[in-house]
Amino acid sequence: MVRNRLRLTCLILVFVLLLGAAAPSSAATISARFERTLGSGTAPALIKEYGGEYIPPIQQRLWLEEVFARLTACVGREDVEYTLTVLNSREANAFSLPGGYVFITRGLLNLIGGDEAQLAAVLGHEIAHVEKKHGVNAVLRQMGLTVLAEVGALALDFISGELVRLAGATLVQVLQLGWGREAEFEADAVGQSLAVQAGFDPIGAIGLLDRLAQVNSSEEPVHLFSTHPDVQQRRQRLETALGSFWSEPVVVGDSKVLERLNQGRNSDQSGRTDPKGRYMLELSGQPGGLRVFDEQNREYVTWVPQASVREAAWSPQGDYLALLVEAEAGGEVWITDRWGYVVEQLKVQGDVAAFCWSPHGRALALDVVGPGEKRVMAAYLGEKAYVEVSRGLTAQGSCWLDDGLYFLHNGRWYQTQPPEVVQVRIDHPVPVVLQRKRVLNPTLIKEGNTYRLTRPALTLP
């Protein structure tokens, strides 16, 4: 191995001396060609190792292609032609090779389901590896060519043959180990940014990490993790970056917006009115929970009896109820489902004085007091991620409308907007082809004066 490396270095040095003053632009082209050769030479063996190529059903394929096309339309490198291959493996994994070869397994696709933001996050991460040349640099580093990386590529292109084979073998080895800790962090950041540029929600990267961590701890290990840095660190960095995708707060001058804002939060309808019309909330502010009148059963029930509820508001779609609860450290927000069971407790540093729902019902704006200044935080439910949207400005109150999140600073309303999310739309869709599902009929058995329904027996075709 050492002899090989020495021979290789000598070869490259000779070629570099011979080629001398090659133009930098042609060096870049040659480097891209070398990457492509390296990637295309390695891809077939990897595809085979992962059970071959999997062709997803039409609808899923069109969706995948659209997400991928939107991402690759935003890349910086013009010398790379990106291709996406789905691998027929149940293992949840994704990786990329120099030259623009991006791979995702069927297992990871199943895990992601229909979440566009999460798919964009994983593909963005893999594209970022190619954009930043993590693969080719790791190979050259492994081969002891760190310093000669760029110039070496120039020479390598002319040597090809044995050298490319050797580099390919090294690539497979390096791929098993990962491109390196810093490369992974960089791919996370670049991938998240790429997703935003392509119109996907950057929260997808955090959601994906959480989902993978859940699977990793409960079921079979996820290979995607074995070569990556600590999940908590990656999550923390991604969460910190979220704030950078929100727009800078600007003073609101539009009188119509100001009129609406001055009417106060939830001006269109009280957050206490159940959008689905079943429950009526009665807030006392006293310990002993939240008294709720259930219109359907015509009775009063008490939810979260252990808490003292200061404020309550239904999500716009009525699927969740947010409660401002008196806790030891001050106000805290709890989220319950429609039956009053707490599904999430939002933990922020400081006392939550008030809150309001985002129009899509997936996040909340929290007015937080201390430590330090009063500020407004956007809290993403599910992912439990927080963004300080007031950007250091003292904020006295907030209101989240369709066109952005507003907060009051020194008597003036400021507006800030979350990153724009554009839902995937397929220009040339194809109708679904359905088949009848087997209908399972339960059996009715009479037992004395009662009837019992048996579980239908499922017979596999």
Partner 1 sequence: MAKHGAIIAVLLLSLLSPAAMGSAAVLTDPTGLYSTFIGDHWVYQAHHSSTDLMVFYGEADHELLYFQRLGPVAYSSARDFAQRSVELYGAPGGLEEFQLVGDFQAVEVAGEWGVSCSYSYQDGQGNTLWEYRIFLVLPGGEGFSIAFSDSKPEAADLPLLLEDILHHWRWLF
- Least distance between partner 1 and beta carbon 231 (Å): 33
Burial of 23 (0-12, 13-18, 19+ CB in 10 A): exposed
Q: Which is nearer to partner 1, 63 or 158 (CB)?
A: 63
- Least distance between partner 1 and beta carbon 430 (Å): 4
- Dihedral through CA 141, CA 142, CA 144, CA 150, nearest 10? -30
In the sheet that holds 250-251, the strands lie side by side as 250-251, 412-416, 404-409, 398-401
Q: Which is nearer to partner 1, 147 or 426 (CB)?
A: 426
* Residue 369 near residue 351, CB atoms below 8 Å: yes
**How crowded is residue 351: how many other Cβ atoms within 10 Å of its Cβ?**
17
Q: Which is nearer to partner 1, 2 or 439 (CB)?
A: 439
Q: Distance between CA atoms of 141 and 389, rounded to whole angstroms? A: 41
At 383, phi and psi to the nearest 5? -80, -15
Which residue is listed with tokens 């930098």?
Answer: 24
- Least distance between partner 1 and beta carbon 427 (Å): 4
Q: Which is nearer to partner 1, 1 or 434 (CB)?
A: 434
- Least distance between partner 1 and beta carbon 81 (Å): 21
- Least distance between partner 1 and beta carbon 319 (Å): 17
- Least distance between partner 1 and beta carbon 460 (Å): 10
- Least distance between partner 1 and beta carbon 219 (Å): 26
Length of the chain measured in residues: 461
Contact footprint for partner 1 (CB under 8 A): 55-58, 61, 425, 427-437, 439, 461
Strand 330-336, strand 342-346: pairing: antiparallel
- Least distance between partner 1 and beta carbon 105 (Å): 16
Q: Which is nearer to partner 1, 425 or 455 (CB)?
A: 425
Q: Which is nearer to partner 1, 21 or 433 (CB)?
A: 433
Tokens of 113: 């389901």
Q: Which is nearer to partner 1, 256 or 437 (CB)?
A: 437
Q: Which is nearer to partner 1, 277 or 429 (CB)?
A: 429
Q: Distance between CA atoms of 383 and 141, rounded to whole angstroms? A: 37
Q: Which is nearer to partner 1, 56 or 359 (CB)?
A: 56
Range list of β-strands (E), 315-384: 321-327, 330-336, 342-346, 351-357, 363-369, 375-380
The end-to-end CA distance of the chain, in Å, is 55
Measured at the alpha carbon of residue 192, what is the angle toward residues 385 and 92, in degrees to the nearest 5?
Answer: 85
List, as one string, the DSSP characters of 45-96. Answer: HHHHHTTSB----HHHHHHHHHHHHHHHTT-S-SS---EEEEE--SS--EEE
- Least distance between partner 1 and beta carbon 216 (Å): 29
